Amino acid sequence: MFMGIVLTGDRPTGKLHLGHYAGSLLSRIELQNEHDQYVMIADLQAMTDSNSDLIKNNILEVMKDYISVGLDPNKTTFLLQSAIPELTELTFHYMNLVTLGRLERNPTVKNEIRQKSYENSLPAGFLCYPVSQAADITAFQADLVPVGNDQIPMIEQTNEIVRKFSSSHGSGAIKEVKAILSKTQRLIGIDGQAKASKSLGNAIILSDSSEEIKRKVFDMYTDPNHIHVKDPGEVEGNVVFEYLDAFYGDKEHLEELKIHYKKGGLGDFALKKLLNQVLQDLIAPIREKRESLNDLDMKDILWKGTQKARVVASNTLSKVRKAIGIDFFNL
């Protein structure tokens, strides 16, 4: 079996939610058994568009989320981006390998620029964050990066930089990476919006209390035309069914429920009661584990992982400096 290096991570701008659980955490729990996995808390990347207090306050929260869902510090290396300055130097060097036009054409960034209404005041750091991502990915010599569909252009950008580097300075220092496409679709918000997100307040947080989960489930957007229990209802776009699809283990029963709902005679209340039970059962052990974790231990795990990761990044940087001819004192 191919045993490779995997890099993945999150911007620490809030606690993680069910969207992260379904979209990336579950697969990381598998990946850590098969590969050498690095999980990066991307605080520098978050700095390109977020407030530093928010970021600082969420670093250990995200660590707790990781450990409480079952990521294992003996199998996964956790690292804090800002504590590895080698990543910023790599970014600096890679900036000579990418044109402004190429950065401006990056579809992911273009889309984000529109969302943030940055058109007239685009921070240079934001435009260049794909270069910083290329630095992160290559620094740890990653073979694989798990991504959603919308992140594929970032992997392409990285590989272009690697190829430009190799053609300009020779190969061997850094290598191209493969995307692992996420199996699950992006989880929608409880309000039916396309994306569950901390900032939109439409996500079920992994550390929500039992009462918060219940409230959010019973607030969920269903079919607005399904008014009486006897009415036929829509399954498509119905948040309760989307969440059952993602988290309910009994797929056979779920198919029956869908048929029943479409025909009429199945009420939202009964469905939400089921989903509530499913999510309570899923999150209870995560919450319990989370409550047993303390800040000092989390900081220690992150510190140790960061030190280990820094050695790798530093080694890559040395190779890069040598290759591009910046090694006057042989540092």
Q: How far is CA 236 from the centre of its chain?
A: 25
Residue 103 lies near its own copies (rule: CB under 8 A) = yes
Name the minimum Å distance from CB 326 to its own copies: 5
Name the minimum Å distance from CB 308 to its own copies: 14
Q: Which is nearer to its own copies, 1 or 331 (by Cβ)?
A: 331
Helix or strand or coil: residue 279? helix
Q: What is the DSSP letter of 273?
A: H
Residue span binding its own copies (CB under 8 A) among the ranges 62-70, 100-108, 262-270, 289-297: 100-108
Residue 309 lies near its own copies (rule: CB under 8 A) = no
Residue 44 lies near its own copies (rule: CB under 8 A) = yes
Q: How many residues bind its own copies (CB under 8 A)?
A: 48
Q: 79, 309 in Cβ contact below 8 A?
A: yes
Q: What's the rounded Cα separation, in Å, for the pair 48 and 11? A: 11
Name the minimum Å distance from CB 126 to its own copies: 7
Residues ≥6 apart with Cβ < 8 Å to 58: 12, 13, 14, 15
Name the minimum Å distance from CB 164 to its own copies: 10
Of 72, 92, 193, 256, the one binding its own copies (CB under 8 A) is 92
Residues ≥6 apart with Cβ < 8 Å to 299: 60, 63
Q: How far is CA 174 from CA 169, 205, 249, in A?
A: 11, 37, 42
Residues ≥6 apart with Cβ < 8 Å to 243: 18, 187, 217, 220, 275, 278, 279
- Placement of tokens 């750091």 in the chain: 125
Q: Which is nearer to its own copies, 122 or 259 (by Cβ)?
A: 122
Q: Pick out residues in 289-308 that bind its own copies (CB under 8 A).
A: 299, 303, 306
Q: Which is nearer to its own copies, 82 or 133 (by Cβ)?
A: 82
Which residues of this protein are in contact with its own copies, per CB under 8 A? 43-44, 47-48, 52-53, 55-56, 59, 80, 82-83, 85-86, 88-89, 91-93, 95-101, 103, 120-128, 131-132, 299, 303, 306, 321, 324-326, 328-329, 331
